[in-house]
Amino acid sequence: MDNKLWEKAAAFHGHKCPGLAIGVRICQAAAKHLIIEPAFDEELVCVAENDSCSADAVQAIFSCTFGKGNLIYHPTGKQAFSFYKRQTGESARFVFSGEAGAMGRDEYLNYILTAPLEKLIEVKKTTLALPEKARIFRPATCQSCGEVTAEYYIRIQEGKMLCPDCFNEYDR
């Protein structure tokens, strides 16, 4: 376990917890398997299958962020992260497969931080295609609330351009 990575992730996240430890260990496995470094822009892309503490480790260690467009949320609830290297086309999916937390919090945290990577993380083929590069969309004003949103999110209802909050879904 790389203590510098752990401390960096904890400083970003705000505290030390088992979820953050899972993310740090996944980052270690990804760095080892794909030989990756922190992203300057979108040369490294991460698809996170959860929005838990572990995703903060990916942001802190690899500099994959929602704002930069190289951290994509694909909600499955799994402790799984797929990493893609744009320049080489390499990719892999890293899935936490360690114990499910039947221990006490401190014991579980210690287990995650000290167990061998191969006992904690499964390396698999990616199941999703490499996401396209982030786009910048023109702003559009909702004709109901007056707030500006990205053109991509605008929906038309009864001839009006509406944001997702003002649009009434039709589902029957």
Q: Do 91 and 155 share a domain, yes or no?
A: no
- Domain coverage including residue 164: 135-172
> According to the model, what pLDDT value does residue 120 have?
96
Q: What is the DSSP string of 38-77?
A: --SSSSEEEEES--SHHHHHHHHHH---TTTT-EEE----
> According to the model, what pLDDT value does residue 40 have?
85
Q: Do 42 and 84 share a domain, yes or no?
A: yes
Average pLDDT, the chain: 94
Q: Do 117 and 147 share a domain, yes or no?
A: no
Contact 3, 34 (CB under 8 A): no
Number of H helices, E strands in the chain: 5, 9
CATH for 39:
3.30.1330.130
Q: Do 88 and 158 share a domain, yes or no?
A: no
64 in a structural domain: yes
> According to the model, what pLDDT value does residue 1 have?
66
> According to the model, what pLDDT value does residue 37 have?
80
> According to the model, what pLDDT value does residue 155 have?
95
- Tell me the average confidence (pLDDT) per consecutive run of 10 residues in the chain, 172 residues long: 90 96 96 87 94 96 93 96 95 93 89 95 95 91 97 95 94 82
Question: pLDDT tens across 54-84, in order?
Answer: 999 999 999 999 999 999 999 999 999 999 9
What's the structural domain count of the chain? Answer: 2
Nearest-CA neighbor of 82 among 93, 90, 91? 93
130 in a structural domain: no
Pairing of β 44-48 and β 71-73:
parallel
Query: Percent of the chain scored above 70 by pLDDT?
Result: 99
129 in a structural domain: no
Q: Do 88 and 140 share a domain, yes or no?
A: no
CATH for 171:
3.30.60
Tell me the HSE value of 119 on the side-chain side, using a 13 A CA sphere. 8
